[in-house]
Amino acid sequence: MGRRRRPRGVKGTVTAPIETTGAAAEAQPEAVLQGVEGKKIVGRSLGQIAWLRFKRDKVAVAGAIVVILLILVAALSRPIQSWLGLDPNSPNRDLIDPNTTLPSGDFGGMSWDHPLGVDPKFGRDLFARVLEGSWVSLIVAFGATLLSVAIGTVLGVVAGFYRGRVDSLISRLMDVFLAFPLLLFAIAISASLQGGAFGLEGLPLHISVLIFVIGFFNWPYMGRIVRAQTLSLREREFVDAARGMGARGPFILFRELLPNLVGPIIVYSTLLIPSNILFEAALSFLGVGIQPPQASWGGMLNQAVKYYEVDPQYMIVPGLAIFITVLAFNLLGDGLRDALDPRSR
């Protein structure tokens, strides 16, 4: 095309709608950035924009604060116990009514020394036990989530990126895992590993088994999300653009696709954590998770069931701990989803 075909003045020719007269429309870029004069606009990444959006969501911020506090408490649970002179496993037989084996005094034996009361039969401090249970719950939930996310992300990306046979294979594998009777399997594994395995025994063994069972059987949830995201991302034109410039598979995967997957992975990990906390509690409740006398939220619930009519306090304390934790993580996860991926609403 040459200079000749740039009609400046329209000379009664058959005119196309794209024609513009004069230089007015010529050099005027549609000014989005030039909008506010003089004011320096700093380039904002999508992450920064998400943060601004997140900050405005009060409920999510509250969830985030509670989550941070919970993590701090869980991480410092042992130091806090020794600082306050608490011991989750030391019995206080003097606080137990020997006839009923229930805590003597009102509200499950609440007192200044035992702000949340004591448990029946042994008189152990419930505050100390909830504190001790917090790190067990969170470490299992985080460990299991990390494991699911690692397996789910790798297999999901591979399935979505390479498609075809690889995808069919991985997708069927996910179906198999989702159809697996997870609870029965968990019970069987825990029971058979009770004595000790892999050079581990006691609490470390129970925690490892829980992380493995929950994490290894939950990955298809993550895998499906990552696979779907990868499938849709790889159809975007920027992937074609990269290929058109000579990009190979790894470049497309790591430079073009993965940065776009980070957001969804963070969001769904945050939403996976509370479900894993519930799972841990359920397994411990069923007696195949953390074993007594080690304190755990699920284990406490398990024992509290026997007393729920006569000592409801014992059930309320761990129940509330689970409820608050799960709720906080869910609120945070929903807020993150809205902030990072506003389309999914």
Given the rule CB under 8 A, which residues bind another protein? 1-7, 12, 14-20, 25-30, 32-33, 41, 43-46, 49, 236-238, 240-248, 251, 256, 259-260
Looking up tokens 């996860």, which residue turns up? 333
CA-closest candidate to residue 314, choices 137, 125, 86, 135 = 125
**Residue 95 identity:** L
Nearer to another protein, 25 or 179 (CB): 25
Nearer to another protein, 56 or 236 (CB): 236
What is the closest distance, in whole angstroms, from the C-beta atom of residue 119 to another protein in the complex? 52
Give the shortest CB-8-to-another protein separation in angstroms.
11
What are the angstrom distances between the C-alpha of 84 and each of 61, 79, 139, 320? 30, 9, 22, 22
**Angle 204-284-191 from CA coordinates, rounded to 5°:** 70
Residue bearing tokens 């989530």: 145
| Residue with Cβ nearer another protein (85 or 244) | 244
Nearer to another protein, 20 or 90 (CB): 20
b/e sequence 294-311, b meaning 16+ C-beta within 10 Å = bbbbbbbbbbbeebeeeb
Q: Among 24, 22, 27, which residue's Cα sits nearest to residue 7?
A: 22
Work out how close the CB of 255 gets to another protein at its nearest, in angstroms, rounded to a whole number. 8
CB contact set of 17 (below 8 Å; sequence gap of 6+) = none
Nearest distance in Å: CB 17, another protein:
6
Q: Of 34 and 192, which CB lies nearer to another protein in the complex structure?
A: 34
Q: Which is nearer to another protein, 45 or 82 (CB)?
A: 45
Of 40 and 93, nearer to another protein (C-beta) is: 40
Least distance to another protein, CB of residue 225, Å: 18
CB of 167 to another protein, least distance (A): 13
Helix axes of 58-75 and 77-84: crossing angle, nearest 10 degrees: 70
Distance CA 229, CA 222 (A): 11
Minimum distance between the CB of residue 168 and another protein, rounded to whole angstroms? 9
Burial class (CB in 10 A: 0-12, 13-18, 19+), 30: exposed
DSSP code per residue over 206-229? HHHHHHHHHHHHHHHHHHHHHHHH
CB of 284 vs another protein, minimal distance in Å = 41
Question: Which value, to the nearest 10 degrees, does the dihedral of the CA atoms of residues 65, 224, 263, 259 take?
Answer: 150
Indicate the residue among 11 and 58 with the shorter CB distance to another protein. Answer: 11
Q: What angle do CA 193, 198, 203 make, to 5 degrees?
A: 60
Tell me whether residue 136 or residue 336 sits nearer to another protein (CB atom): 336
Least distance to another protein, CB of residue 218, Å:
27
